[in-house]
């Protein structure tokens, strides 16, 4: 992965200038077409631990369109490790694009029923434990936070007043909080409906050292729930692409960009502020849509 490819894109729009705001997007998506930018950062120290601990294999859990799974497959291969993906749901006749890519990167896939998927410990016990390094679903954990904190080292982030990013497990958000200065505000946009334990889970990740940092998780931009992408979201993503040449994904970043616009229009940012949105990637997941629904 060539992290020097990472740059920012400035968004020019009336809804920003009207409120004296500026918005830059940190294009982690440009790191790779398939591997989500934020996953690459989050996985770095897990892979490091696996190698230091002399594990031969890394393994984790995910769905058929999981950015996490395909990123592990890629990162493990780059680190010279084998990888196992435990996939939720019975093996379909034709696997998703995501899983096909994961297999291409050498991942060994294990399909389990939704019932079995819930009992993760049983699955873990069935595999030869001493040689397998398990990464939590979504990469939640301290090593993930450490890796994600390096996202804000890719550019000069001092001028920004707000960092805004999509939230799944909250690991990336915790990394941003840890890496930010006390005067900067971090806003997370939850892609799930009613996942109110997130605040607590993020607090647990950042630890007492950063407990005075300001962060805010918005729960009203889920568009119906995790993985839901109603027509108004698709229209918004297409419109954003036409106006700004900014490709967004349907699970995370589309909802986040929508939230920024809505929050700007509702005067939720202090006038004169500079905002940095983290484009966390995820574009490969758009391939789950029927052809031609998206303009890119």
Ligand X SMILES: *Cc1c(COP(=O)(O)O)cnc(C)c1O
Q: Rule CB under 6 A: which residues touch ligand X?
A: 36, 38-39, 42, 67-68, 138, 166-173, 249, 252-253, 280-282
Nearer to ligand X, 19 or 42 (CB): 42
Least Å distance between CB 73 and ligand X? 14
172: Cβ contacts below 8 Å, ≥ 6 apart? 38, 41, 42, 144, 148, 151, 165, 166, 278, 280
Least distance to ligand X, CB of residue 93, Å? 26
- Cβ proximity to ligand X, 127 vs 203, nearer residue: 203
In the complex, least distance from residue 216 CB atom to ligand X, rounded to whole angstroms: 15
Using the minimum distance from each CB to ligand X, give the nearer residue, 19 or 39. 39
Please say whether the beta carbons of 23 and 260 come within 8 A: yes
Where residue 106 falls (left for φ over 0; alpha for ψ -120 to 50; beta otherwise) is left
Strand, coil or helix: what is 193? coil
Alpha helices in the chain (DSSP H): 14-17, 37-52, 67-78, 97-104, 114-118, 120-126, 142-149, 171-179, 198-206, 231-244, 253-265
| Cβ 172 to ligand X shortest distance, Å | 3
| Smallest distance, ligand X to C-beta of residue 75, A | 13
Q: In residues, how long is the chain?
A: 296
Nearest approach in angstroms of CB 154 to ligand X is 16
Comparing CB distances to ligand X, the nearer of 172 and 206 is: 172
Measured CA to CA, the distance from residue 90 to residue 87 in angstroms comes to 8
The CB-of-231 to ligand X minimum distance in angstroms stands at: 21
Cα torsion at 209, 197, 217, 256 (round to 10°)? 120
Residue sitting closest to ligand X (CB):
282
**127 vs 141 by CB, closer to ligand X:** 141
User: Is 144:46 a contact under the CB 8 Å cutoff?
Assistant: yes
Choice between 107 and 166, CB closer to ligand X:
166
Residue 79 burial (10 A CB sphere; 0-12, 13-18, 19+) = middle
- CB-wise, 173 or 264, nearer to ligand X? 173
């Amino acid at each position: 992965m060539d992290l020097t490819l990472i740059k920012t894109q400035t968004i020019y729009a009336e809804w920003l200038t009207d409120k004296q705001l500026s918005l830059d997007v940190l294009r982690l998506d440009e790191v790779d077409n398939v591997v989500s930018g934020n996953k690459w950062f989050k996985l770095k120290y897990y892979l490091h631990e696996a190698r230091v601990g002399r594990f031969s294999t890394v393994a984790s859990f995910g769905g058929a369109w999981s950015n996490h799974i395909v990123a592990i497959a890629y990162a493990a291969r780059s680190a010279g490790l084998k990888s196992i993906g435990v996939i939720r749901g019975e093996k379909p006749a034709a696997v998703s694009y995501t899983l096909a890519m994961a297999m291409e990167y050498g991942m060994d896939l294990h399909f389990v029923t939704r019932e079995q998927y819930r009992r993760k410990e049983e699955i873990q016990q069935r595999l030869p434990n001493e040689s397998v390094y398990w990464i939590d679903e979504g990469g939640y954990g301290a090593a993930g936070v450490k890796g994600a904190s390096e996202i804000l080292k890719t550019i000069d982030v001092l001028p920004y007043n707000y960092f805004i990013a999509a939230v799944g497990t909250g690991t990336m958000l915790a990394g941003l909080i840890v890496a930010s200065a006390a005067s900067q505000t971090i806003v997370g946009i939850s892609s799930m409906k009613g996942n109110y334990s997130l605040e607590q889970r993020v607090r647990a990740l950042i630890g007492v050292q950063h407990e005075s940092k300001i962060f805010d998780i918005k729960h009203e931009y889920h568009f119906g729930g995790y993985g839901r992408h109603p027509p108004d979201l698709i229209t918004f993503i297409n419109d954003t692409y036409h106006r700004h040449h900014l490709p967004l994904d349907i699970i995370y970043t589309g909802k986040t960009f929508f939230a920024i616009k809505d929050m700007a229009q509702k005067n939720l940012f202090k006038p004169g502020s500079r905002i940095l949105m983290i484009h966390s990637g995820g574009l490969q997941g758009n391939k789950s849509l029927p052809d031609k629904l998206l303009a890119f």
